[in-house]
Structure 1
């Protein structure tokens, strides 16, 4: 039997991979997405917290309201747990029922014409005169690696590899409510989250609590979620004695774009390409945008609209300022100065502009000074 032939094979059914395939299918090209998981909602690594801009992505058009919850504020805590409530007019974050969201994204892709092969792991790809032969899948003119920060496509094809990570852990608690459900609670603490932070948020199904710290190769030190939950219990009402209903953990890329990101007729997208903010490690919005841009670029090549030597990848951001802030956070984080500075008006202004993408408005006073 002759192997199937596609215009593009995408490895990985995450945000970036499905956005890429969706853009191709929208232009009438045959895109196949493969993913090693039989159920896209299993073993989810992403937090599923969306910035407002992510909802403008074509892939998320028609997102069922039951899968998301609006969170219009951020409450930022210093190491001593003194906090400030931040917000911007008209801006909000969205928490999600992440497993259900991933299943819906897969179904949405299929409804738009994407061929999705669940339970199909990427093993190898061989270059041919007309594209790529992907073992166990078929032949395609282009190959896209959207298989995460530990991309096997990048490994097999000799493309750039992500080499800077955070180690993250997240607990899900079903059916409970926070004392302040309309805020994304963010905790700065060198003790519990060196190089990053902890977070707690109300979701459509309950509460999620996460913690991430710098990852050092060879280190076996995991984030101390039990200690963290005990530390923040007076603020959130969560207790370390409540067993989580689900746990997810993994490495979060934070080093910025990889190089090379493409070779021949293969390209990396999303986390596999390092298209994640070095400062916040937020990758959903970047993945959706980058995946769609790659999809449109491939469509132009396939339709003959782009010259043969034209790049199929959009310009890559340098993240220079965010890389600088990442370096400073990695090397200059101390709890005592954070206790003093984090609620100071100039620092709060900067933090709010970073949180709300330069939409910072009126700054509220710290707790106790409203």
Structure 2
């Protein structure tokens, strides 16, 4: 029977305290393992790179059902806008999203990790690690049996250890407007526009503390383009009911994976999860549910293996990583064939509705 070794300072070191990293740590902690989470930020709720929008499945089927109600707002519909701002409202029986007070959600999640017995090191960025016998020597931390990189699309763990790196990304920016309310707060407002969001969409949503409005586009590091959020806001203000004088209370920005890493996501004693492993839908860029499930599975596999009840966690990490094959085909089509005029013309059509249902509701939707 395998068991945690006294030759290691930790059984598991996780880099990154967002959804995938927190899930990994919480799952492993259930087995009484010595777990350490490294988070480069002093405040887990600062400088966020996530919209914090959570799908129904994550709320109902994972540990995230424990999120306090005060941090959530239910959104049951999608209003999809063509570039000319004509729109259609989509919904699905029983389906919903949850927008969140994301900064406080991340702080709450970090507190849950710490209260589970995990050592949480804030303001402690990962710098380097090297293979050391049957484990890893993590600079500034000590020796660990397993090391997991859950540190985002530009994973430093992947860079420093030679694992695959995500090259296909979107770049997104989002403004938050505290205390304001959308004219239609019960809908997730999504805007198709090649002008403002080539390769993706713009969005507006009501959350528990205000309005969040964002924009993402296909990122090419050789010809980097900044999202024109100011122009987008001017374009959609009237449609969503955002006052012209409104000023953002917070800004978040960052890279979002829309492709797989260019190499392996595991090596002996080493695994990637979340954005670092490309565990994000290449079409919708939604990743909280899939990242949480994969991160939890990795942590659980480490725990079962060290307690003598499971296979090597590296194999489990590879086996459970989603491939998103169908959505990758749709991503390719969006990259090569996105145009504004077909959406303007076809928004009300059955084929366009079915496409939207596939993206938002897994074809369970209905137009109203």
Is this a same-fold pair by TM over 0.5?
yes
Question: CA 1:315–1:58 in structure 2 vs 1: closer, same or farther (change >3 Å)?
Answer: closer
Match of 2:302 among 298, 301, 304: 298
Q: State the match for 1:29 in structure 2.
A: 33
Q: State the match for 2:325 in structure 1.
A: 320
> For 1:59-98, what aligned pairs fall within 5 Å after superposition?
59-98=63-102
Give the TM-score, by structure 2 length: 0.94
Match of 2:359 among 354, 360, 364: 354
Question: CA 1:151–1:271 in structure 2 vs 1: closer, same or farther (change >3 Å)?
Answer: same
Moved more, 154-163 or 343-352: 343-352
Deviation string, structure 1 residues 282-319 (Cα, Å, up to 9, x no partner): 11111101101111111122112235697241333322
Asked if 2 retains the 8 angstrom alpha-carbon contact of 1:4 and 1:137, the reply is no
Q: Which runs of 5+ in 2 are unaligned?
A: 1-5
Q: State the match for 2:367 in structure 1.
A: 363
Shift of 1:141: 0.5
Q: State the match for 1:168 in structure 2.
A: 172
Number of residues paired by the alignment? Answer: 362
> For 1:214-233, what aligned pairs fall within 5 Å after superposition?
214-233=218-237
Question: Which SS does the other structure have where 1:311 is aligned?
Answer: helix
Residue 340 (structure 1) aligned with residue 345 (structure 2): yes
Question: CA 1:139–1:285 in structure 2 vs 1: closer, same or farther (change >3 Å)?
Answer: same
**Within 1, Cα distance between the matches of 2:282 and 2:263?**
15
Deviation string, structure 1 residues 228-247 (Cα, Å, up to 9, x no partner): 11111221122454221111
**Within 1, Cα distance between the matches of 2:8 and 2:65?**
30
Q: State the match for 2:3 in structure 1.
A: none
Give the TM-score, by structure 1 length: 0.94
Deviation string, structure 1 residues 38-97 (Cα, Å, up to 9, x no partner): 110011110001111111354424211110100000000011111110001111100001
Question: CA 1:274–1:307 in structure 2 vs 1: closer, same or farther (change >3 Å)?
Answer: closer
Asked if 2 retains the 8 angstrom alpha-carbon contact of 1:171 and 1:208, the reply is yes
Deviation string, structure 1 residues 340-364 (Cα, Å, up to 9, x no partner): 112212320231232013322x332
Deviation string, structure 1 residues 187-242 (Cα, Å, up to 9, x no partner): 00011111100000001000000001111113342111111111112211224542
Question: Which SS does the other structure have where 1:247 is aligned?
Answer: strand
**Within 1, Cα distance between the matches of 2:326 and 2:122?**
39
Moved more, 107-116 or 266-275: 107-116
Asked if 2 retains the 8 angstrom alpha-carbon contact of 1:37 and 1:120, the reply is yes
**Within 2, Cα distance between the matches of 1:342 and 1:198?**
16
Stretches of 4+ aligned residues off by more than 6 angstroms: none
